[in-house]
Amino acid sequence: MDVMADDPKRDAVMENVDAMRRAMVMALVDMCSIPAVTPANGGQGELKKVEWLQEHIKNFGFDEFARYDAVDEEHPEVVRPNLVAIRHGLHRDGPTLWFVAHTDVVPEGDLTLWESDPWKPVIKDDRVVGRGVEDNGQPLIASIYAVKAVAEAGVRQSINVGCALVADEEMGSRYGIQFLLDKGVFRKGDLVMVPDAGLSKGDLVEIAEKSILWLKFKVVGKQGHASMPHRAKNACEAGIELAYRVNKELKGAFTETDELFDPPYSTFELTMKVANVANINTIPGEDIFFMDCRVLPERSVDEILDTVRRTMKQVGDRYGVTIHLSVVQQERAAPRTDPESRVVSLLSEQIRHVLNVEPKVYGIGGGTCAAYFRKKGFDAAVWSKFDESAHSANEYAIIQNIVEETKVFAMMILRA
């Protein structure tokens, strides 16, 4: 069937998406009622959510299902499942168009900031509110319902279509997309769509990411009474100076810009700080804090570490404390996806068709599954119609965004 020229079939698919609006919203509510926080963040993992998804999509028109369960080396009692569903195309030996969405979510954070229970999503006005509804629930639902809309229109698309619903994205993808890549699930020539970044207008297609470097600093001094500072070594004071100086040194030394990225420069942000002592009149003997670095591809992560270690030595010598540095996560920037690649062109065409906006390519701070594909030689495009509420209190997904994303994905399936 030539779906390129068959307007009635294309119209039928779009009508199916509109008719599925309420079903998609309720599926998002039900799915995000199942916490899927990684064990590294104190949760029970993604298994219950994936089991729900397996049951939910069994009649969506997929021809193959497979589960790839990774063994979490630090939490072997927790199953880390990856669900792969494929709908065959007319050319089964040809490439597959993949939609790669993640099932894990970040913790809820400060509960006092939420206006409703983060694990009991609610429909409020034009949006769904709850943890994980935008990141990555909205595009996950859009991906699977795009396949359903095509199948129920009676269309057998030309290309194979796969939905890879993966674990562990929020903590580095070791048990998710990296695991699937090692298993050989994806083949040379496949098209990879990662719906995990974007803005509300829907006109930005991500083709590049910065290097990621997460650092943990542990300052070890000597605990003592606050009235007797000469008998202690104040780890908190040393830690504060270290944090200030590392931040200042990095921001002063790495000033290059690249207008492809938003923001167009490397970023160095102090983030989490671990509580030290429980009372005011004790000088802490230990101070721990973290930093998130997102580095333009033109600069080496090793340069960052050299600057950090030099500053650590200076502060350590001044205060007579020992400073330990741990690299929590390090991902060097992958090659950029060619803006003229088939997947970027295919996606851009459907954005124009469905949203009536002109897409442009850009780069982000990093952290999506696309980087792992790019390192393996796959062209990967990242796009969503997000309102950027991910990871915040009262995270929300705009219902119309779900519908429009689904239409874009369905059109990609028809046009590929």
Task: List alpha helices for 101-175, DSSP H.
Answer: 138-152
List 72, 169, 395, 404, catalytic entry: 169
Could you give the CA distance from residue 48 to residue 36 in angstroms, rounded to a whole number?
A: 8
Q: Which two tokens stand for residue 351?
A: 């954005």
Nearest Cα residue to 32 out of 390, 326, 290: 390
List 46, 72, 104, 331, catalytic entry: 104
115 is catalytic: no
Cα atoms found within 13 Å of the Cα of residue 133, Cβ hemisphere only: 33
Phi/psi for 140 (5° steps) reads -65, -50
Could you give the CA distance from residue 32 to residue 105 in angstroms, rounded to a whole number?
A: 9
Could you give the CA distance from residue 186 to residue 334 in angstroms, rounded to a whole number?
A: 18
- Running DSSP on this structure, what letter comes out for residue 113? G
269 is catalytic: no
In contact, 176 and 70? CB cutoff 8 Å: yes
Give me the sign of the Cα torsion angle 101, 106, 112, 117. Answer: positive
* Range 255-259 contact pairs with CB under 8 angstroms and sequence separation of 24 or more: 256/296, 256/298, 256/299, 257/296, 258/296, 258/297, 258/298, 258/363
Residues with catalytic roles: 104, 169
